[in-house]
Structure 1
Amino acid sequence: MDDLFAPPPFKPAEALVQLKRSLRDLRLLAERGDGFELNGLRVVEFGVDESAITVRLARRAARTPDWDRLVLKSGADVRKCVDDVKRRLARWTEEDR
């Protein structure tokens, strides 16, 4: 009875497809291999295993960026990651002006 309200199990491979789709919908990022670029600069990279998605997210759009590492283990983590990318994307495009 306790598991009646439990969220469905996290499936990293399926969540990665959803995550990539959400980032493609932002229109400013170009998908390249296992990540995304902004104006030719690598800003997001993905890794996946059987229990989680590992995301490397650039602090600033640069040729050799400093990376933040995120581990996504739930749908809520994936949504937070998309929101974080949106915030950073707004900041990166503002810096370019």
Structure 2
Amino acid sequence: MDNDFFAPPPFKAEEALVQLRRALRDLRQLTERGDAWSFEGSEVLQLAAGEGQITARLAKKPMRSPDWETRVCRSAADVRKLQDDLKRRLAQWADE
């Protein structure tokens, strides 16, 4: 009996990164610069794909030399969680 029928499809980091970048471009508060994204002139997100995962460095607060938090996305659910967290932070930063 083969139980692979219910296994999720393998995570394609490069494809997921392309989709994530597209979603980030829709967020008007962010400015794209290569593999990095800025909020009001301060870098707040850095993205890299490799070895079946996306590595994201997310600033805790927008500042010149931010305190970085590293997130590793190994599935579509991880990528959605990163997007949701980033949207929440952008809303918080815009209010401050």
Aligned to 1:13: 14
Aligned to 1:43: 44
Runs in 1 of length 4+ with deviation above 6 angstroms?
none
Q: Is structure 2 residue 64 aligned with structure 1 residue 63?
A: yes
For 1:25 and 1:33, how far apart are their aligned partners in 2? 16
For 2:16 and 2:67, how far apart are their aligned partners in 1? 25
For 2:13 and 2:52, how far apart are their aligned partners in 1? 6
For 1:77 and 1:8, how far apart are their aligned partners in 2? 14
1:40-92 CA-to-partner distances (Å, cap 9, x unmatched) read: 11000011112111000000011110011000000000000000000000111
For 2:27 and 2:4, how far apart are their aligned partners in 1? 36
Indicate the SS of the match to 2:27.
coil
Q: How many residue pairs are counted as aligned between the two chains?
A: 95
> Unpaired runs of 5+ in structure 2?
none
The normalised TM-score by structure 1 is 0.94
Percent identity, aligned pairs only, is 56
Aligned-CA RMSD value: 0.8
1:6-64 CA-to-partner distances (Å, cap 9, x unmatched) read: 11100100000111111111111011110110111100001111211100000001111
Aligned to 1:87: 88
The normalised TM-score by structure 2 is 0.95
